[in-house]
Structure 1
């Protein structure tokens, strides 16, 4: 049994932690013991460990760290034991540890400061890793080292690429720096592009592309071959395929991070996009962190998840967090008594107890029959993109399965029309669809440097179709210069906005008979005033001072009223 908090504990300790969770919340006793860690947040589990060991828990430690003490410590040792020093006085030295049963931290500082008592506090693994990152830096090769690289293709094999250790080969060190900087800055993607006379890379952070960093043009083919080698592909594959999809794993401060790789040919060379699938700094759990939806939306989502059969569809543009939300739902639905199968290309988030199938486009039709004969209870399809995948979703729902999937369309109500465009009859969609959802990711203002504003101008109120109350509503806006905490961006992180249209039996019947259109259904849901739209949820976040209208207008059409 895994507690999913970033550290490995033996069975005896794990059982004791689960017992402590049940003692704090007796309602958990109704679930199986294997299921309890999946339903509890990492912070809740950490609190149980704190109660078990009588240690205080600090969820945020960055502001308490003595920089001089930290810089005197060996980052590799801190990383191995997952601990950091916090503060030292004349009698004690305080350290933050992720695993209170690991003596490495206590032994290290007992030897270094024999006259001081070592006092431990508990902190999350992600928080400790973030502190270690500040003193563990991957440096790039010098210009002279890059100039000295031979440009012939290399056949060196790299099976386990560590991006935080020093590499003897300058090219390997360059790629290590590119990847490690992206992970450290919480980038979602790394882009490498070829222009006429240069190659450059850049990062997408919180949805925006950042500064471009140049690479010597002569290394264009060597970097390309190096990245293909990480996936175990020979350089010759470049000429055989117009597009190459794959994945590889990097090691970053003792944790494995999956990198999803996409490469396609361009007029001047190639364009590589590497998606960083680092789950360590956020929890894909409904109601927590970036998935902390409003109470009405969360309750409705729980209601449709409880329906035994039918389709739940998540719509939105690329990069709007659809897959993350579906995987969070899958974690909630994951029970030992159910068989859960996924059809994905590629698999983005592996969940313990779920059978993931990484399926290629040309394998879809042959896999369907075998897939359905596996007797699954719940099916997750990565995306409905053509008639075959749409028919599979419909047939699976009709035959009593619960189906979770995504589709590309602007509004939740347009999901029905999108299925029709793919060739599915309206009545089939209406009878099987249980919830039509739309999601967007909104950038959050940096809490350290955001600027307060007394209200909106008349022009802004008219521009965004807002009520007059916004004229005197105090809000916040982005600091264009940013600060050290946000890297000068003015934004720090993103949060999901979710709009859900539940398809009740009554509305299903009306849709089947053509009594109402999908858009009229959306208006009927809004008229009830219970479930908020994307616009309403976004404005609420702006009113709370967590984001601004500039960020909201980039993801939602603000020209229309409710």
Structure 2
């Protein structure tokens, strides 16, 4: 049978230990599954099987043959055996470390050894360098947004977050944990020998295909050592249009009318990881022109853009969001983007900037759009200043996009539909689409993500209510019918067939 080699469903460490790299290259075969009594082996030549007897003698297991493309086999032989050969090389060169859980000694020596390897990575480079290089390439190939390298009892574990879901992709010997983390910290210009406190760093990494990826790193000490998380920012995401992000045409027009205002405050709200930064940077890309001066303050600067003047928060130097806005006001800005309004000072300065002829874009951590009003009040912003400056707010979430190559039509569950739409009168369709899984989506049923959102524009009635210090529930009643709520937007995406009932329920509720 034809076999699709999916590295996320294969125990790479296990299959790479079955035979040597040279053996796999010579025969152009690759183990893809190891069971107690047999091994599943992929080949591109199903009629040339003279190697099976030798393979069974070497492994002492029965062989089940599956057929895969020659291109895939050649590619994954190099991918799967890279880490294995690098690990073996590391053990040969560092016999004192082999078999141990990795003492913190010799890290400074490792630092010196790897200092000269920040450029292009070649096959002759250090074993640890090759492992990290493979890891970054693999993550970007699989569309991961985050890499988690975690020390566990007796092993190091690697997990990727793909389309919002975490997946274990690899585990390696514990003695490699410190060298791998140290190599990444060197690239990010972090303190290699400091493992007692959290650190942050950044890498700009060039892939084999020439693309440059921005990577933001964070380390923390945990029970078995040091964990490192790498967030990957693909510049192509910022180059996407609002249509690509899942916005309807009429909502694009409404949003663009907000971000083209000469002054005022515009907010994007939602939890961490809901795509707020992508929405803001996509917005800035649309308004960035030669005759517009745009200043941003972020913590940290996630996506580099030469059209912007980007400042990073640094509390040690007293560069807070509020102080950055104060500095911007002396820089003749047209537009100011504030990464997040976290405290009263940042809130008051954002309002002041909006009231003095500048357009201010920022984010808040609230669950819905209307709650951003009460959040500003909680921060100590007087209601009359909110009504004078706030122009509109949008709450958003990211849901996984159904794979268009394999999605399947299924009858709609009345109970699930009622849970999605709640009290809103949205007609239930007879059928919706559900995930199935194919080689295009790595058998997950989903391929990419899109926005589900709600957008509220300020009007006279809402401003009068804010001045009257009404409650959040009263604000909800006042705005009812004036915007499309998150759950209704999710229902529309389900009807369009771009996401599933289960996905909307998972993300929004």
* TM-score scaled by length of structure 2: 0.76
Q: Name the CA distance, whole Å, in 2 between partners of 1:364 and 1:308.
A: 27
Q: Which residue of 2 aligns with 1:140?
A: 83
Spell out structure 1 runs of 4+ moving beyond 6 A. Answer: 466-471
The unaligned stretches of length 5 or more in structure 1 are 1-130, 558-562
Q: Name the CA distance, whole Å, in 1 between partners of 2:119 and 2:504.
A: 39
| Counterpart contact for 1:381–1:403, Cα < 8 Å | yes
| Counterpart contact for 2:157–2:168, Cα < 8 Å | no
1:400 pairs with one of 345, 357, 368 = 357
Change (3 A) 1:177 1:315: same
1:262 pairs with one of 197, 218, 233 = 218
Q: Name the CA distance, whole Å, in 1 between partners of 2:374 and 2:429.
A: 41
Instruction: Map Cα deviations across residues 9-40 of structure 1 (whole Å, 9 max, x no partner).
Output: xxxxxxxxxxxxxxxxxxxxxxxxxxxxxxxx
Q: Which residue of 1 aligns with 2:467?
A: 512
Q: Name the CA distance, whole Å, in 2 between partners of 1:367 and 1:455.
A: 51
Q: Name the CA distance, whole Å, in 1 between partners of 2:381 and 2:263.
A: 18
1:446 pairs with one of 403, 407, 411 = 403
Alignment of 1:136-535 (within 5 A): 138=79, 139-142=82-85, 143-150=87-94, 151=97, 152-153=106-107, 154=110, 155=112, 156-158=114-116, 160-162=118-120, 165-239=122-196, 242-252=197-207, 253-280=209-236, 282-290=237-245, 292-362=246-316, 363-365=318-320, 367-456=324-413, 458-464=414-420, 473-479=430-436, 482-514=437-469, 516-528=470-482, 531-535=483-487
Q: Which residue of 2 aligns with 1:549?
A: 501
- Greater shift, 421-430 or 184-193, is seen at 421-430
| Counterpart contact for 1:248–1:260, Cα < 8 Å | yes
Q: CA deviation at 1:471?
A: 6.2
Change (3 A) 1:377 1:459: closer
Change (3 A) 1:198 1:335: same
Instruction: Map Cα deviations across residues 394-422 of structure 1 (whole Å, 9 max, x no partner).
Output: 11112221100111111111111112222
Q: CA deviation at 1:429?
A: 2.0
Change (3 A) 1:238 1:298: same
Q: Name the CA distance, whole Å, in 1 between partners of 2:247 and 2:324.
A: 36
Q: Name the CA distance, whole Å, in 2 between partners of 1:158 and 1:409.
A: 46
SS in 2 for 1:246: strand
| Counterpart contact for 1:264–1:271, Cα < 8 Å | yes
Change (3 A) 1:437 1:464: closer
| Counterpart contact for 1:286–1:329, Cα < 8 Å | no
SS in 2 for 1:351: coil
Q: CA deviation at 1:465?
A: 5.2
Q: CA deviation at 1:378?
A: 0.7
Q: Name the CA distance, whole Å, in 1 between partners of 2:300 and 2:251.
A: 29
Q: Name the CA distance, whole Å, in 2 between partners of 1:472 and 1:379.
A: 43
Q: Which residue of 2 aligns with 1:10?
A: none
Q: Name the CA distance, whole Å, in 2 between partners of 1:357 and 1:465.
A: 41
Q: CA deviation at 1:224?
A: 2.1
Q: CA deviation at 1:374?
A: 1.1
Please tell me the root mean square deviation across aligned C-alpha atoms, in Å. Answer: 2.5
Change (3 A) 1:471 1:407: closer
SS in 2 for 1:403: strand
| Counterpart contact for 1:342–1:356, Cα < 8 Å | yes
Change (3 A) 1:533 1:284: farther
| Counterpart contact for 1:297–1:498, Cα < 8 Å | no
Q: Which residue of 1 aligns with 2:488?
A: 536
Total equivalences in the alignment: 415
Change (3 A) 1:222 1:435: same
| Counterpart contact for 1:202–1:210, Cα < 8 Å | yes
Q: Name the CA distance, whole Å, in 2 between partners of 1:375 and 1:422.
A: 27
- Greater shift, 293-302 or 183-192, is seen at 293-302
Q: CA deviation at 1:317?
A: 1.0
